[in-house]
Structure 1
Amino acid sequence: MMWLSWKLFLFLSLTGCLSEYSEAVPGLPTSYAAILRIKSGSSSLASFNSKNRPRLSSPSLGSVSSPGWRGAAQHYYSPTNLYHFSEAFKHDESVDYGPVFVQEPDDVIFPTDSEEKKVSLNCQARGNPAPTYRWLRNGTEINIESDYRYSLIEGSLIISNPSEMKDSGQYQCLTTNMFGSILSREAILQFAYLGNFSGRTRSAVSVREGQGVVLMCSPPLHSPEIIYSWVFNEFPSFVAEDSRRFISQETGNLYISKVQTSDVGSYICLVKNTVTNARVLSPPTPLTLRNDGKEGIILGYGIEQKMLSQKYWVTVKLFYKLQLI
């Protein structure tokens, strides 16, 4: 009698699950729903009910180039498509079940100047039998055997000597066993770097007192975002933003309204990478005043540079000679 009761309970639970699944995913056969096979004598039978159904998907996805493979592999995202395992199933080898993610890959930003020349995209899944792993980049399966830079360690993808041109993009982990396949969320691999400013001498900017002026930063190549600031005459004399001065964090340009005599001097754009904290400085831009409404010509100027450390040459003074015309 007890055998019949749990058998009936198991049947009703699976029937309810398949019914919900077929309604949630119209057009797909109910064979895409989870299949749980409990070996005879399992202690997990008493724990199985409609609230701890496993989360599985298609048992036969085939090639990732098949038209329906992506949708079938992602069925587990549906709230009606099966549920997490109870603790009883997680460690019970007498229960066969499809893959369930333990860890999915996260976004990675890799500094190009990193001493560790490898990237790890983590993926781990549980299943019985143990699932196998494949990886996709921008929707295309990676042939790990064809490139020595790729390796798999317990499902995680390791990329040695990563290259922005070859390796940046969106990655997904696809794990499979005989009961189904599941596809992870997308993880974006980016590269962090900060180039150098052009060493070309910047022309002086001349403005009448009381007028406004824009000093261009023209930042170097970078990834991801950078933070802009400006040095005035000598480090660490930074330009403070106020009602007259504004630094755009989109372009890096410095806007000064109602220019005063105290604004005359040398301006240097300093950029900082938000990931690596690397900093570089632009060549100085001289700002001068036009006197008495007359235009002036810069006849020449000199630059004094001092090395504060191995990385930073930050003290810059400008000496200029102005001739009125």
Structure 2
Amino acid sequence: MRPRTASLISVLVLLPAVLGRSLVGQGARPRTSVGLFLSKTQRASRPGSLLLKSHLKLRNTPPDVLTVAESESLVVECEAGGNPPPTIHWLKNGRRIDQDDSENTDELFSSQNAVPMLGLSFTRSRLFIDCASAQFDEAEYTCVAENPYHRVSKTTKVKVSKIGGARSSPMCLVKKSFDHPGSPARITMWTHTRLELMGSTVQLFCRPSGSPKPAVAWFGPDDNALQSGDKYKVLDNGDLEIRNIAWNDMGGYTCAAENSHGVDRTSTFLYPTLPDKA
């Protein structure tokens, strides 16, 4: 057995174990919902294919309490792993925060005719709190991860401290009270790691925010810019679609969001995997 093949098998076995789930093998009863499992015809043409049961688990969540000094900035991060690939959004005192302009969180698993996917994905998200003030920002913030089958969450209380009785600067109060003419480009949600069966189509998340609206560009493992065409498509929401993935598509992909106030970058690792052979 070649080392790379052995590595693929190890990843397929160990990652579900870390997430507390097991692989579904050839002897398991096929399921038809949302194309997660092979149909009888597909199973006959792809014997022994391994697919994951749907699952979702939060990882690397923020602590129960975070403290930030008045007028300082805070970034709260959250990560979730699962199948189908999860999306993440945030709540402030139970109300949803709209961090980006896109409400399109649908993934390719929503198509009944989609090629069955392994779909194991780790999604990360960042919540930005600028010019913190007790009046506007001291609250409970909830990281919510979800896919079509599961929903999990973690709540963090943010406290704003007034060191030495300091008050928010006038500039911070202006930014909080009115529509500020601009804000830097920031990526609020992205795919950190994705494992998928070769031959599938994958959608790698990259959701930017900022004013004016950031332009998004993707770069491949060789650092060359990716152009929309037969192989790649940059979606309106910033995500990257890669069709018919192969072993040589493995590697790190960079999403860059930029506007007149700044630039932000995130990295995604794509790991194409071979279906198990009978």
Judge same fold: TM > 0.5, yes or no: no
Q: TM-score if structure 1 supplies the norm length? A: 0.31
Structure having the higher Rg: 1
Q: TM-score if structure 2 supplies the norm length? A: 0.36
